[in-house]
Amino acid sequence: MRGRTTDSTFMQRALGLGLSQLGKTVPNPSVGCVIVRDGVVIAEGATGDGGRPHAEEAALAALGGEAEGATAYVTLEPCGERSNGACSCSQRLVEAKVKRVVFACEDPSPYASHIGTERLKAAGIEVETGLMADECAALIADFVKNLPVKR
């Protein structure tokens, strides 16, 4: 069963995961991720202490990277690029063959905004944005304040 209520329930869980790491992930934002297949949570993760691993990376690692046909609920747009050159979360989700990604807030980084979304859509993954964006914005407030301005 898929619907706004179910989506909200899973995003609420992702928000809770992100809140559990709030203040511990600097310089990165605190993010929560819940991966669901057939209405059942199959993995979850949050940004690690110091910003690594990313939430999606942690959740996918718990599954051995296998999430074919699943939906990922993420409090922030999956990253399109990583500053350390590692595989981005959007690429990891593509490789894991998720069918749908629902995220709350767009990536506010002037260097990465929308890159993750574009990669997911190009791979044929259904992308929905904005669910619980106001609630999840608290997770990235400090991150946004410290972003450089792209020139």
Q: How far apart are CA 142 and CA 135, in angstroms?
A: 14
Of 114, 119, 110, nearest to 87 by C-alpha is 119
User: Which residue among 56, 57, 66, 81 is the active-site one?
Assistant: 56
> CB under 8 Å, gap of 24 or more: what pairs does 40-45 form?
41/10, 41/13, 42/67, 42/70, 43/67, 44/13, 44/14, 44/17, 45/17
The yes-or-no answer on residue 56 being catalytic is yes
Q: Just list the catalytic residues.
A: 56
